């Protein structure tokens, strides 16, 4: 049973795709076609200029309509998200002395 679930999970991940695009084109996305639910659930790059959506299966028509987009696999997204473009380091400050 576990092997079957692991196989299904791997298959779902293989079918999931991502598209990075300019924030200026958010209004072109039909949120009924992607896994994000609204503009409020989109993650943005550190500079706020890019975002991405994900979906299962065929590329949604609203994603295809974007002028500037880059398609990525789950493996590519895992490598991209920790980069400086998408992740700000957390600066820890010292607690004031008591």
DSSP 28-78: G--TTSSS--SGGG--B-TTSSEEEEEEESSPPHHHHT-SSEEEE-HHHHH
CA of 41: how far to CAs of 7, 9, 10, 26, in Å?
28, 23, 24, 12
Structure tokens at 14: 């293989």
Of 4-8, 17-21, 26-30, the range with the lowest mean pLDDT is 4-8
Per-residue confidence (pLDDT) for residue 96, from 0 to 100: 61
Q: What is the pTM of this model?
A: 0.77
Instruction: List, for residues 20-74, the tens digit of each pLDDT value.
Output: 999 999 999 999 999 999 999 999 999 999 999 999 999 999 999 999 999 999 9
């Amino acid at each position: 049973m576990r092997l079957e679930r692991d196989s299904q999970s791997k298959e779902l991940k293989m079918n999931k795709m991502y598209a990075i695009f300019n924030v200026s084109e958010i209004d072109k996305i039909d949120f009924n076609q992607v896994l994000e639910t609204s503009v409020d659930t989109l993650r943005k790059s550190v500079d706020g200029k890019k975002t991405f959506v994900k979906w299962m299966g065929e590329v949604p028509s609203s994603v295809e309509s974007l002028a500037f987009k880059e398609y990525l696999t789950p493996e590519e997204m895992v490598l991209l998200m920790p980069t400086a473009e998408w992740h700000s380091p957390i600066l820890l400050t010292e607690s004031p002395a008591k």
